[in-house]
Structure 1
């Protein structure tokens, strides 16, 4: 059981888990959508961005790219860049390809792309490669105090 699953259970957030065989070393999100037979617009990836020491989590659809300018604006920062994978792993406690927005080592501000609100349910990483959890966008926003903004393109 991952920290993300424990967090969801302890917080009594309704979710369902989806396991799949992960056999790639990049584009994990699109691979998850393909393996689970789900449209890419309901499967979301977790990215980390930063401005100096201020780190922010960005959750966007797997078929989109993060708009750094819009993400910075939504986070109230001037200019952000992607966090290096090794730094993301160290900061979250999860491996790249399995970084969940839930139960990271340090509580970080979270941004959710506004497209999520059009979905009844979205899938995000469950805390390891090959495991996703499905939940309502409203539950994700409420549990993480996430800011919803148009951050994907």
Structure 2
């Protein structure tokens, strides 16, 4: 598996240049950064949370964790992690646990940590445990229109 047909179509329709990075299968963004020989701060981790009755995507640097209080302030209400099985149902065209941060494909808002938005390039999950996407942060922001705010803390 590489990139989902739906994701590829959105990127190409919107003329978003990207490169696909194939790597050894990994199950965390931090480990993916290591096998790709990239700094962890340049690789994005996707976390799916619930806020009230709605779900959202939080995007932050791989070596960080979500400060739930800060994200709750940005989201306008308490946030909590969702169960893995529910997450898998939300992303049926992806490998379990490999969530691409393209919320518009799944009807979810995206919150992007300000540190990622400030980097010129970003490396993102392509929806598999062995593929990643590299693109300009500005292109990602233009396409996804995330709410950029500060909620990541170093683990």
TM-score (norm 1): 0.89
- Indicate conservation of the 8 Å contact 1:33/1:43, yes or no: yes
Listed one character per residue, the Cα deviations across residues 78-127 of structure 1 (whole Å, up to 9, x for unaligned) are 21101111111111222344210126652211000000133110101012
Partner of 1:32: 32
C-alpha distance 108-37 of structure 1, shift in aligned 2 (>3 A): same
Aligned residues: 149
Q: Structure 1 residues 135, 96: CA separation in 2 closer, same or farther (over 3 Å shift)?
A: same
Answer with 8-17 or 99-108: which moved more.
99-108
TM-score when normalising by structure 2: 0.88
Give, in whole Å, the separation in 1 of the partners of 2:135 and 2:11.
Answer: 10
Cα 1:96–1:66 change in 2 (3 A) is farther
Q: Which residue of the partner structure matches residue 135 of structure 1? A: 135
1:5 CA displacement: 2.7
Q: Which runs of 4+ in 1 moved over 6 A?
A: none
Q: How well do the aligned residues superpose, as a CA RMSD in angstroms?
A: 1.7
Any gaps of 5 or more consecutive residues in structure 2?
A: none
Matches within 5 A, 1:35-114: 35-76=35-76, 78-93=77-92, 94-102=94-102, 106-114=106-114
Aligned partners of 1:113 and 1:151 also within 8 Å:
yes
